[in-house]
Structure 1
């Protein structure tokens, strides 16, 4: 359209360049042609302006379309990410549900096993000891099992007196902290563990048997206050527990074997009235008795657990590696150190 109008205007301008002295008729025609040429030029300018506006509108539309495509792409990516997250969450939820169901089944099985073990009546400790004596005589056990550990919890009267802690209170704290291990027996091999577990179930005794090393080196050289980083004056369950010395181990084993065979002795007058080293090592490993304090009251216990403040700009207090928890003997208070 633009080219056609240009040709028309050019043609009219050439036509207007006629003879120098036109006649009146030619002059009238020339005036008409000039008017037509002006109108054509105006139409051409209007067409050019309209074309420019259309081009601008087209460019704006293209930019809007590009932006819209970008927004659409972002929305699609967000939608895909949300769908993926939903699938992941659903999968994790299903896994948690399966885990919960499995744990519930295991819990129900254990409760049923415990219920079955108690249906026949209370635990038969005399029968259990008699059966242990028979196994020892038959040579099926390399040594008498150590336990139940709850029967070997005695307090060191001299240590309690030196710490000004009532022996009865120390005994109560020992029994409270070590309650999960009261019925535990200790043996020296997995074969003996399996054999004893069957025997315990037969005599309605809680099936708790641990395998330990009865011949390991004593722990006490590395359980000093300095090695453990304990505060001065801290009285622990390890110190309160009456422990056999290495020299007492042989007579204690003989006494335990005699007890398993049915011999009757006063435990307060025998070497067995103390925790053998294997039992001490077990309680150190599983119950951290060397890091559990016995204090008079809450204020003293908190001071022991917190330790002295570290010097400004200096290293952290060494007591961070010391006590982990503690009990008060004047009241039923049990505190644990944060992070321990």
Structure 2
């Protein structure tokens, strides 16, 4: 039976990236040495690093003055890096979910943190609107997609101060006007590769403005100077990222990717709204294209376990909702094929017909 992977992360990867990775494990760049064993100082690897950076620049149309970094530690480590490098006295945060809340918590160790708005009052089921960004903040931090709750900021915000965005779970899913951001960061394991590498896109002129001493490894300038190789980089995840971004480019880039993602999301949300047994949990205007969250409708709550078992029998993997929300979550990242989304929709229809 074919399995349909809807796990929230690590993500589905393009088949071409997996096949290239398997070949590279056996023999990288015709060296006779596998990618897991190769020195990161070999010419072949330096070429992969340069090509991966260029793919980021090409796909996102990154302007001059920005640097692209590949670091370890995951996006959660950046919750500390960001205020360490950017906060003098005060930062502003938009609280749209657990990860946004955790980012703000870390920042509070470095200065004043103003939560400009929060959707915690309704279990993060919507994106706050009509808030004011304080102009005396050193930066304004947002989390563009909230994997647990299925909400997403769909447009690039105009901010009067440096805008910093955690785009872990929707990067490369749509075009982004990078010029509106001072910094974008995230873990790779949703759309651009496996776990183990963190991407950072940062405008270089915002660095070196804080009074505190910054430990060498935490200073972004260290990694810019050393081209992300101050210490041994996560070689294998970066290689898979390289192959994944090649796949995105071959598909037609982010305009084409966005079109496909919208079609997948519209298909699944359309069935949720039509089917009498299910209801979406996120505000319709803020529904994520990446993480589709839904629960059993009123009168059918006792059928949750039945549907979970029914779906599992038909090859659906990873649709159990996060414990803080319950119900179901289908993560339909870039490489999740339309075939899988259609299979889930067919499964929901079949289940409905049994009642």
**TM-score interval for Structure 1 and Structure 2 normalised by the shorter chain:** under 0.3
Structure with greater helix percent: 1
* Greater Rg by CA: 1
Q: Which has the higher contact order (CA 8 A, sep 6+)?
A: 2
Name whichever structure is richer in strand by fraction: 2
